[in-house]
């Protein structure tokens, strides 16, 4: 190889090397970002549904429907305090007989416990003595009135007998009221007056309401003091449900509005709104509301948490069935029917309620949307995308 040819070969090799280096240092090509589908534009081409799938499809026209506004909040079940009774001892004594136990259903007036009390026995003795003295004083006063009418006795004697009668009558009535307040009935007092009080130091406490015994603090032979709580009876056939609503939401409702209450693992029940607090909570700035619920079957348990839902009727808006709404990729929309084919269309949605979803943009009242069989169409659409490599 001569010098001239060698020089040409070296120049060609250098140029080839430089070209190779330029290719390795060049940045990769930049692809434009994918443009998200806009509501109202056709995001996919029309697809044809096989006969088997077409039989399962159901379409409905886009129309105006009243979409209710649903306000939800957590709630708590509470006892109706008018249906709660705490049975306490009204005198010191000792438990002698227990008629019920924890969990028993009781009726109003049913005996719960019998208590023996020497203090009560003494009070019964005072009652009998006071009644006897009142009877004697009354007879004496009546006789004196007759004698005074005939001017046989003096006016002073009449006044003294009248005063004695009034004094004994007041003492008798006072002791009688004490016995009645302690739980003795008028029939029991009548029986004591007629037959003495050999067993009068035993008295029975009864239930003031019908319900269930949920607390028992008495055992036989136990000593009890005045005011000691022996039993608690509650009636859960009617309970209250409390919830807190933001002020702006609470203003939308009034007493009497119906609410749906859903306990965990049980069927929902409806109840009226019976109380709206006139002031906001100082800490949470919310409004306390209460619902009265008929609970004859006992499905709501006091102190359990429930879900509360209040509904406001809405004005008619363009809407589609909630079952028609689906998501393809990251785009929400619906399948519409056009010329016996089905196309996925991106849609901008608004509120949802009552089984309907509000349409803000993307559909008109002339469109028909697929409300049943959406999953089948979505599968066909995805298979076509995979097959075409899109």
Q: What percent of the chain has pLDDT over 70?
A: 85
Mean pLDDT of the chain: 85
**SS3 sequence, the chain?**
CCHHHHHHHHHHHHHHHHHHHHHHHCCCCCCCCCCCCCCCCCCCCCECCCHHHHHHCEEEECEEEECCEEEEEEEEEEECHHHEEEEECCCCEEEEEECCCCCCEECCCCEEEEEECHHHHHHHHHHHHHHHHHHHHHHHHHHHHHHHHCCCCCHHHHHHHHHHHHHHHHHHHHHHHHHHHCCCCHHHHHHHHHHCCCCCCEEEEECCCCEEEEEECCCCCCEECCCCEEEEEECCCEEEEEEEEEHHHHCCCCCCCEEEEEECCCCCEEEEEEEEEEEECCCCCEEEEEEEEECCCCCCCCCCEEEEEEEECCCEEEEEEHHHCEEECCEEEEEEEECCEEEEEECEEEEEECCEEEEEECCCCCCEEEEECHHHHHHHHHHHHHHHCC
Question: What's residue 186's pLDDT?
Answer: 84
**pLDDT tens by residue, 344-382:** 999 999 988 878 899 999 999 889 999 999 999 998 888
- pTM check: above 0.75: no
Mean pLDDT, residues 127-151 taken together:
91
**pLDDT tens by residue, 22-48:** 444 444 444 334 344 555 444 567 888
**pLDDT tens by residue, 5-18:** 545 544 554 454 44
CA-based nearest residue to 71, from 208, 251, 333, 232: 251
Question: What's residue 42's pLDDT?
Answer: 46
Question: What's residue 276's pLDDT?
Answer: 96
Question: What's residue 179's pLDDT?
Answer: 85
Question: What's residue 388's pLDDT?
Answer: 57
- Give yes or no for a contact between 304 and 295, defined as CB atoms under 8 angstroms apart: no
d(CA 196, CA 202): 13
Question: What's residue 260's pLDDT?
Answer: 94
Mean pLDDT, residues 216-240 taken together:
93
């Amino acid at each position: 190889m001569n010098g001239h040819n060698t020089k040409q070969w070296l120049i060609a090799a250098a140029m080839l090397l430089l070209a190779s280096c330029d290719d390795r240092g060049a940045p990769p090509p930049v692809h434009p970002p994918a443009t998200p589908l806009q509501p109202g534009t056709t995001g996919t081409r029309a697809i044809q549904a096989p006969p088997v799938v077409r039989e399962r499809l159901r379409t409905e026209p886009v129309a105006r429907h009243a979409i209710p506004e649903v306000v939800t909040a957590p709630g708590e079940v509470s006892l109706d305090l008018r249906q709660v009774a705490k049975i306490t001892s009204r005198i010191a004594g000792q438990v002698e007989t227990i008629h019920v136990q924890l969990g028993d259903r009781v009726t109003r007036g049913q005996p719960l416990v019998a208590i023996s009390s020497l203090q009560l026995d003494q009070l019964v003795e005072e009652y009998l003595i006071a009644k006897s003295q009142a009877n004697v004083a009354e007879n004496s006063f009546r006789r004196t009135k007759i004698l005074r009418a005939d001017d046989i006795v003096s006016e002073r004697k009449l006044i003294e007998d009248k005063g004695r009668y009034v004094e004994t009558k007041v003492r008798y009535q006072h002791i009688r009221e004490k016995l009645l307040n302690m739980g003795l009935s008028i029939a029991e007092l009548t029986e004591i007056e007629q037959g003495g009080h050999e067993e009068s130091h035993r008295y029975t406490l009864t239930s003031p309401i019908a319900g269930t015994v949920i607390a028992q603090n008495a055992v036989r032979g136990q000593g009890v003091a005045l005011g000691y709580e022996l039993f608690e009876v509650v009636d859960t056939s009617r309970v209250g449900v409390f919830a807190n609503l933001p002020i702006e939401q609470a203003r939308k409702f009034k007493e009497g509005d119906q609410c749906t209450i859903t306990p965990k693992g049980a069927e929902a029940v409806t109840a009226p709104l019976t109380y709206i607090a006139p002031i906001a909570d100082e800490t949470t700035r919310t409004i306390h509301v209460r619902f009265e619920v008929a609970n004859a079957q006992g499905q709501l348990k006091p102190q359990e948490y429930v879900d509360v839902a209040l509904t406001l009727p809405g004005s008619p808006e363009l809407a589609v069935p909630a079952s028609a709404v689906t998501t393809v990729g990251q785009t929400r929309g619906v399948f519409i029917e056009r010329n016996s084919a089905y196309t996925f269309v991106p849609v901008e949605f608004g509120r949802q309620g009552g089984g309907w979803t509000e349409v803000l943009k993307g559909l008109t009242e002339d469109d028909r949307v697929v409300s049943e069989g959406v999953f089948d169409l979505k599968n066909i659409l995805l298979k076509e995308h995979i097959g075409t490599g899109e």
